[in-house]
Chain A
Amino acid sequence: MSSTKYILGLFADPDEMMDGIDKLQKNSIPIYDVYTPMPIHGIEAKLGMKDSRLGWAAFMFGCLGGTTIFSMAYYMLVHDWPMNIGGKPAFAIPDFVPFTFEWTVLFTAFGMTITFFYATHLFPGRAPRVMDFRATDDRFVIAIDAKTNTSHEDITNLLKEAGAVEVKHNDRKYVSYE
């Protein structure tokens, strides 16, 4: 039993990497993930990735922000200490619109950032987990979980055939900035 945990195919060219994905899929080899230094159009559909749920998170944070400030302002301006400002009613809805809008936007922006950091393990101070350094630079990396039934040699050959410039058999999942 080999100690290889993940097999990485490193490509220099995105088209060749896409070709590699095709080849692997044709041979029913499940792909763990793909890392690219830039967005590749159509790759989500090819890998069958689910749509991001970040939009839903944004919506929920927006609702939270709007509700928070609306209740706060209502409590302060209408319930606890109503004041006569320019003869307007205490609960003057048009006045409530600008800050409700602002807080909705604020909570959405911060909430999305935090959610994104949480989902991608990118909190400040944390060593980022990457499977190969050059995936952030100039290599397009396909990662395959080595515990599949297919022999590692076959996978290596497939990747090489598709044009991989390097195939790595890694014993550890991540190489971190240590």
Chain B
Amino acid sequence: MKTSYSFDEQFEFKGRAKTWSLIMIAVGLIGIAYGFLSGAGERTFANLLLMGYYFTCVCICGIFFCAVQYVAQAGWSVSILRIPQAFAKVLPIAAVVLLVIICSGLFITHTGLNEEGKQTVLPYLYKQWALNGVATKGSENYNAVIAGKSGFLNVPFFLTRIVLYLGCYSLLGWLLVKYSNNEDELGGMFNYKKSFKVSVLFLVIFGFTIPLFAFDSIMSLEAHWFSTMFGWYNFAALWVSGMAAITLTLILLRQNGYIQWVTVDHLHNMGQLMFGFSVFWTYLWFGQFLLTWYANLPEEAAYFYRRWEPEFKPWFWLNIVINFATPLLVLMSRDSKRMVKVLKVACIILILGHWLDYWQMIMPGTVGPLSHWYTEIGIIEAAVFVGFAGMFMFFMLNALSKFKSLAPKRHPLLEESLHHHI
């Protein structure tokens, strides 16, 4: 086994990867323009929120992955840490993008029907609780249930919370990357110990706030409904989709001649984690579904009722098939996790699958049913997805190219990772 590598090789962001990511961004911009010009403003905004949230979650997952490895003092993952670190470096950009989307969604208005069916002025996003006068008695938009929640669900506090979550995550992610870069320069245990402390802090903050982040940005779209499972359900989606993105990046970099020290054993571990957490995701999905189904309380069942409409039902079931059955059948056996091609396909399926997962969390409560089930996903959805995927590729690869080496070369556990064998 070869165990000495030159870690000083830098990633060069040029050529096809750069061209394609820019083309993808252009496709996204055209899609967004098409969405607004064709009068589907609310649908475009819902898609922007979806992808802004997805983009942010994948970047947060990079920090979470690093933090988990540091806190567990895991050795196997050291040689791949630069990829999640590159994800972490993109988080500030993703956070700004998400904030811009949320702010424009809140402050740009259009006329539409409120919950009473009356014509009124609505914001594009969070129309259930962010419309004017929803908490003012006597206003035609007054809604007693939402008014009762307005202490938490009001625009200033909402924005403060989002800024706080994303600010905290970005800051701690930035620190983790900084310590790792310092470690490359200086060596020794000093930076490793600091990374450990920052990771612990991150995990505590993350654990308490990530469900709230999901409650705020996604669950509040349907502000009448609530589920305490929703936060962890979203966390599972974040972890699986982020891990799929990390693994796909690893595989593609490896195919292009970089990071040759990443062996099939590292990929096997990533496959195991994706498999395991797909089952965890299903567990949470089912936990939320079973309790709602069993109790059958109108205010809870409304959520699933909306997803049970003929326009959404095929997608609702497809979500389970893609995100549970596919990893279960494809990734269960040891051999398939060790076949890079199979793993690559599984990653792509999971990335698309969790897009569908987020999609069916957002669309029924915002855009609502359109004419047919197959017109629910169209050009706007595809274009916005492609655009954000391109943007993620562009910024992530750009961040990766700024690292002076593609592995934390003085990490105390690096040797263990190079000899990783399962």
Contacts and interface: CB of A to CB of B under 8 A. Distances in A.
Given A41-B419, A41-B421, A95 B294 contact: yes
Contacts of A95: 290, 294
Nearest to B265: A41
B119 interface: no
B295 to A, nearest CB: 9
Interface string A122-164: 0000000000000000000000000000000000000000000
Interface string A37-60: 000011000000001000100000
Contact of B294 (A42, A55, A94): A94
B334 interface: yes
What DSSP secondary structure best describes chain B's contact surface? helix
Contacts of B333: 55
Nearest to B283: A101
Interface string B158-190: 000000000000000000000000000000000
Contacts of A97: 286, 290
A94 B421 CA distance: 40
A42 B420 CA distance: 10
A57 to B, nearest CB: 14
Interface in A59-94: 86, 88, 94
Interface string A97-123: 110000000000000000000000000
Contact of B334 (A42, A55, A86, A88): A55
Interface in B273-311: 286, 289-290, 293-294, 296
A86 B297 CA distance: 12
A9 to B, nearest CB: 24
A122 to B, nearest CB: 24
Contact of A94 (B289, B334, B419): B289
Nearest to B421: A41
A146 B101 CA distance: 76
Interface residues of A, number: 10
Given A55-B334, A95-B294, A42 B421 contact: yes
Interface in A25-41: 41
A2 B293 CA distance: 76
Contacts of A88: 294
A55 B272 CA distance: 14
Given A41-B419, A42-B421, A97-B286, A86 B293 contact: no
Nearest to B290: A94
Interface string B408-422: 000000000001010
Interface in B330-364: 333-334
A86 B286 contact: no
Nearest to A98: B290
A55 B286 CA distance: 26
A41 B265 CA distance: 12
Interface in B243-294: 286, 289-290, 293-294
Nearest to A97: B286
B419 A86 contact: no
Contacts of B294: 86, 88, 94-95
A51 B422 CA distance: 12
Given A41-B419, A42-B421, A94 B293 contact: yes
Contacts of A55: 333-334
Nearest to B296: A86
A94 B290 CA distance: 6
A132 to B, nearest CB: 26
Contacts of B296: 86
B150 to A, nearest CB: 34
A51 B338 CA distance: 14
- Residue from A55, A86, A94, A95 whose CB has the most chain B CB atoms within 10 Å: A94
B336 to A, nearest CB: 12
Nearest to A42: B421
Nearest to B333: A55
Contacts of B334: 51, 55
Contacts of A41: 419, 421
Interface string B365-389: 0000000000000000000000000
B147 to A, nearest CB: 32
A94 B334 CA distance: 30
Interface in A5-32: none
A41 B416 CA distance: 12
A140 B334 CA distance: 28
A51 B419 CA distance: 21
A88 B286 CA distance: 18
7 closest residue pairs by CB, A with B: A41-B421, A94-B290, A94-B293, A42-B421, A97-B286, A94-B289, A55-B334
7 contacts: A41-B419, A41-B421, A86-B294, A86-B296, A88-B294, A95-B294, A97-B286
Given A41-B419, A42-B421, A88-B294, 4 more contacts: A86-B296, A97-B286, A97-B290, A98-B290
